[in-house]
Amino acid sequence: MNKTLLLIFGLYFLFSCSGSDDSSVNDDPENIIENPQTGFFPCQDGMAGVYPCNGYDLLGQMSLASFSASSGNDIWGWTDSTTGNEYALVGLNNGTAFVDITDSEKMIYLGKLPTATESSSWRDIKVYQDHAFIVSEAGGHGMQVFDLTKLRNVSNPPVTFSADSRYTGFGSAHNIVINEVSGYAYAVGTARNDLYNGGAHFINIQEPKNPIAAGGYGANGYSHDAQVVTYNGPDADYIGQEIFIGANENQVAIVNVTDKTNPLQISSFQYANIGYTHQGWFSEDQRYFILGDETDELTFGFDSRTLVFDLSDLDNPELFTTYSGETAAIDHNGYVKGEDFYLANYTAGVRILDISGIDGQTIDEKGFFDTYPANNTAAFEGVWSVYPYFESEKIIVNDINSGLFVIKNSN
């Protein structure tokens, strides 16, 4: 590793991705924004209340103070197939909050599942078969399993919940990935000196309350984030196979994990001006992988940079195009829904990119909602993550400094 990469990684770990020390900049009380507005604010003349916007209304908001927390992080959603109610699963420094957003102007904070061990600025949540799976960089945390159907009947909210199960086959983890087709979870960003070098721990969660260790993969080192799919893309060699794509700090690793006892690397690739290979997501046809690098804006002075790789041949990935955003803000987590890419863009809020013209190397920003109106600088403040998958088309956003937002396209 050269000195430049060492410097970049050092900056990253200082500000954004290591340890569970609650003294991080994002937990500084002076950086926490407490805004009491919670109702509907249409996006008019570029503003929704105090928030800059373009094409997206504010339906409701809950501050960190509502959750007795000092910082926000990941977010995911759950729709109860029995009742149709929609819920936000809100990652916090000291646990996970559960909010019924069905009536977004009268959201109900149902309660919190406290962290399994200690507080941490890093927590990640995914859902499978009506259960939430939660990991954290808190020491010894493991994976909490929480039965979401308990949210149907909560008396006198908010309450303090307990986990239904806890998997301790690893301690801390930066992230959790789930392939809902196969029923396997993949914990990544665990200890760098563990059996899988901080790579992926495979966990069978087909019986959600009884997670079972199923091996792992660490040949490409530490995986910060990943997506795992049952492949149905253009590369006929891998149709029906379970494919892991890991954002591994200074490379992207593509691995066939169909046989959990014998995972096989398909390929790995890098790109110019690597800062910190952070997170990516497939286009729905699985031809393109849309990748964010978390420190290239800081290191190289780019405006928000999003890289698109053509994975028509998984053995030979190629950089296809690069999108430069409207601001200097750092890009964080991004998710595809249809022909839209929802990008958590830290101080620039949520940016919605139109990828309908991606085949022609055309990507355009179609709208945004900025939960951090102070500035759009390259700093680790503002939006951590976004969840755009509710059938109601509500979008939930978790802001490090100011908590939960529910937004929706104005049209």
**pLDDT confidence bin for 321, thresholds 50/70/90:** very high
Question: Poorest-confidence range of 6-15, 322-331, 353-362?
Answer: 6-15
CB 325 within 8 A of CB 350: no
Put the strands of the sheet holding 264-269 in their side by side order. Answer: 225-230, 242-247, 252-256, 264-269
Q: Where are the alpha helices (DSSP H) in 13-116?
A: none
- The CB-side HSE value for 103 (13 A sphere, CA atoms) comes to 3
DSSP one-letter code for 115: -
Q: What is the pLDDT of the chain when averaged over all its residues? A: 92
DSSP state for residue 14 in the 8-state scheme: I
Tens-place pLDDT, residues 157-199: 999 999 999 999 999 999 999 999 999 999 999 999 999 999 9
Sheet containing 212-217, strands listed edge to edge, beginning at the edge strand earlier in sequence: 175-179, 184-188, 200-204, 212-217
The order of strands in the sheet holding 51-54 is 47-48, 51-54, 364-369, 350-354, 340-344, 334-337
Q: What are phi and psi of 27, to 5 degrees?
A: -100, 0
pTM exceeding 0.85: yes
Distance, in Å, from the CA atom of 282 to the CA atom of 276, rounded to the nearest integer, reads: 19
* Model confidence pLDDT, tens digit, residues 214-239: 999 999 999 999 999 999 999 999 99
Per-residue model confidence as pLDDT tens digits over 24-81: 334 443 444 444 446 899 999 999 999 999 999 999 999 999 999 999 999 999 999 9
User: Do the Cβ atoms of 302 and 378 come closer than 8 Å?
Assistant: no
| Residue 74 pLDDT | 98
The confidence band for 105, taking pLDDT boundaries of 50, 70 and 90, is confident
**pLDDT tens digits, one per residue of 116-127:** 999 999 999 999
Taking only the tens place, the pLDDT of each residue in 366-377 is: 999 999 999 999
Note the pLDDT of residue 111: 98
Task: List the domains of the chain with CATH numbers.
Answer: 3-59+171-409 (2.130.10.10)
What Å distances lie between residue 230 and 250, 257, 314, 376, CA to CA?
25, 10, 14, 37
Q: What share of the chain is helix, strand, coil (3-state, %, to 5)?
A: 10, 40, 45
